[in-house]
């Protein structure tokens, strides 16, 4: 059982899913819109902030940095880039490799 908060986050094109194992073993799950600029600038950060605030009772204003001393780890994946690649959407690019 972790002594700090552990987060696993999947940021998709429409929704961001946040899974958290809290100290003591409690599990929290949250789903946010991935893009919601009227309410928050970044969905993964907002999910972390909301869970930490709710579980600790410590006010964490959205404009302030998150207290990372409460967090053991964050694991994050995204389907946004994978989908863009598979669907051949996005900007054209090239990879140039030289010897050495």
Find, among 6, 4, 27, the residue nearest to 74 by Cα.
6
71: three-class secondary structure by DSSP: strand
- Exposure of 30 in the CB half-sphere (CA atoms within 13 A): 21
The whole-number pLDDT of residue 80 equals: 76
Mean pLDDT value across residues 61-84:
90
- Exposure of 84 in the CB half-sphere (CA atoms within 13 A): 10
The per-residue pLDDT for range 6-43, each reduced to its tens digit, is 999 999 989 999 999 999 999 999 999 999 999 999 99
Q: Which residue has the tokens 């429409």?
A: 14
Among 3-7, 44-48, 95-99, where is mean pLDDT lowest? 95-99
Are the C-beta atoms of residues 11 and 34 closer than 8 Å to each other? yes
């Amino acid at each position: 059982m972790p002594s700090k908060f552990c987060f696993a986050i999947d940021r998709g094109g429409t929704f961001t899913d946040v899974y958290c194992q809290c100290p003591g073993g409690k599990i929290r799950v949250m789903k946010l819109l991935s893009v919601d600029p009227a309410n928050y600038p970044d969905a993964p950060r907002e999910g972390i902030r909301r869970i930490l605030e709710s579980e600790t009772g410590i006010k964490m204003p959205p404009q302030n940095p998150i207290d990372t001393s409460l967090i053991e780890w964050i694991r994050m994946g995204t389907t946004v880039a994978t989908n863009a690649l598979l669907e051949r959407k996005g900007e054209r690019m090239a990879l140039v490799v030289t010897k050495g």
